[in-house]
């Protein structure tokens, strides 16, 4: 063995051996749902039943502020007000609190109206519709297409991400990377886009939150006023500091919430969206051809009913549907029954390189018995023939490579024996 010739081994060129002893007893591929390969930047929970934006970190803050403020109100203000005024105060506060939290969760967890991306065949048909005007040069897809809505020209923009012309009032959200029907805006406070399917919940949330905040603010002021009768307001405030905390939170939040509610009430009354209002899509300043909202019913009551009380449109993305076997990505199908650390990725390939280099150094120095213990370990990272319970530790492998470079094969062998004995390579 000492006179053998060795050559550099490229682990990426090694074919994965077929498993004669599968990692799991049940080697049948698990059916995968469509939400697992959804192309947008969304998070799914409860097996696809709940959808959230990936940047949903402010949602817990919103929920926490509502719960903390309401909890302080029920704990420190309601007992005093029930004794001195009426028992209806906690009942009203409880109803408003439940309505606010329910509306918030419905807004956050509901599909806002995401449009599925165009299939490859449909995208090819759109490409064929491009008017080249007989020229042999390449023409990109047209960026706009004009249609008539209520005798008014409306331009449809082409979405190069979703490969389709966006329907009227649809916009592509850069945060979620989806085209959303009747896109209003992306709201970080609720952790989701606000669109056609969840706008009614969003409007209910901000309106009920306005009433809830105003109610708590009024009750806190009444509480402090009744306590300070015949005494000093400042002294009474010091005796109930948490009530003062409620007062400060409500005072600084009530103005923005009331302003937001008033703004969206205006939008609902005229059947507009925030996106259209900001861009001035139907403003007379954009010219006579674009003036006037083609979606309005010219009646405030009808506009409100159409926006808030119409039937809930169905979701167009089949989140919980199963993928056909031919649509499962090859990488997913290969790694379906294997532990995560056995998947072929750059990290495991780097670890394999370190192991192979260590084996090569041992063979060069005539320590075949040590090298033959390392080579099966290389295979265990690439196939389930030699499964390990845990992935190799990069720290241990780096130390081994360093020791071998300094010709201390005995130390390296001791470390291998210590960490291979129980089927792991972790220190």
Catalytic machinery residues: 187
What is the helix (H) or strand (E) element at residue 159, kind and residue range? strand 152-159
> Beta strand pairing status for 192-194 and 164-165?
unpaired
Return the bridge partners of 305, or none: none
CA distances from 384 to 27, 74, 348 (A): 12, 58, 14
β-partners of residue 185 are 194
CB 166 within 8 A of CB 156: yes
Element (H or E) spanning 354, and its range? helix 346-364
Q: Which residues of 268-302 are buried (b: 16+ CB within 10 A; e: fewer)?
A: bebbbbbbbbeeebbeeeeeeebeebbbbeeeeee
- For 390, the token pair is 């845990």
Q: What is the SS3 assignment for 81?
A: helix
Label residue 170 exposed, middle or buried (CB < 10 Å: 0-12, 13-18, 19+).
buried
Nearest CA-CA partner of 223 in 68, 63, 97, 93: 93
Question: 3-state DSSP call for residue 30?
Answer: coil
Cβ–Cβ under 8 Å, residues 194 and 186: yes
CA distance 306 to 352: 62
Give CA–CA dist 192/417, Å, rounded. Answer: 52
CA-CA distance, 362 to 411, in Å (whole number)?
12
Residue with tokens 């090859």: 330
């Amino acid at each position: 063995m000492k006179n053998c010739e060795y050559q550099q081994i490229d682990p990426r060129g090694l074919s994965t051996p077929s498993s004669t002893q599968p990692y799991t007893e049940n080697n049948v591929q698990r059916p995968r749902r469509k939400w697992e390969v959804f192309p947008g930047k969304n998070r799914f929970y409860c097996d696809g039943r709940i959808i959230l934006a990936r940047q949903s970190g402010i949602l817990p803050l919103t929920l926490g502020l509502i719960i903390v403020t309401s909890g302080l109100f029920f704990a420190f203000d309601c007992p005093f007000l029930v004794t001195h005024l009426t028992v209806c105060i906690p009942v009203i506060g409880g109803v408003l609190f439940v309505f606010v939290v329910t509306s918030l969760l419905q807004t956050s967890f509901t599909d806002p109206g995401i449009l599925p991306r165009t299939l490859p065949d449909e995208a090819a048909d759109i490409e064929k519709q491009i008017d080249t005007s007989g020229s042999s040069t390449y023409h990109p897809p047209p960026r706009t297409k004009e249609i008539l809505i209520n005798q008014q020209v409306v331009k449809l923009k082409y979405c190069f991400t979703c490969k389709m012309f966006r329907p009227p009032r649809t916009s592509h959200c850069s945060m979620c990377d989806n085209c959303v029907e009747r896109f209003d805006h992306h709201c970080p406070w609720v952790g989701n886009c606000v669109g056609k399917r969840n706008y009614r919940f969003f409007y209910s949330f901000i309106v009920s939150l306005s009433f809830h905040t105003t109610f708590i603010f009024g009750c806190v002021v009444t509480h402090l006023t009744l306590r300070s009768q015949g005494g000093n307001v400042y002294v009474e405030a010091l005796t109930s500091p948490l009530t003062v905390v409620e007062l400060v939170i409500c005072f600084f939040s009530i103005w923005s919430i009331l302003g937001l509610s008033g703004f969206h009430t205006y939008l609902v009354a005229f059947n507009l969206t925030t996106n259209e209002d900001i861009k001035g899509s139907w403003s007379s300043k954009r010219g006579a051809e674009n003036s006037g909202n083609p979606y309005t019913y010219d009646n405030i009551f009808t506009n409100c009913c159409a926006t808030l009380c119409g039937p809930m449109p169905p979701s167009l993305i089949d989140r919980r549907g199963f993928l056909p076997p031919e649509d499962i990505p090859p990488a997913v199908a290969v790694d379906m029954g294997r532990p995560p650390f056995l998947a072929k990725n750059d990290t495991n390939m780097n670890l394999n390189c370190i192991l192979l280099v260590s084996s090569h150094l041992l063979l060069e120095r005539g320590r075949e018995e040590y090298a033959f213990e390392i080579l099966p370990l290389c295979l265990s990272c690439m196939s389930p023939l030699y499964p390990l319970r845990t992935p190799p530790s990069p720290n241990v492998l780096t130390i081994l490579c360093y020791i071998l470079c300094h010709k201390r094969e005995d130390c390296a062998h001791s470390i291998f024996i210590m960490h291979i004995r129980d089927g792991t390579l972790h220190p």
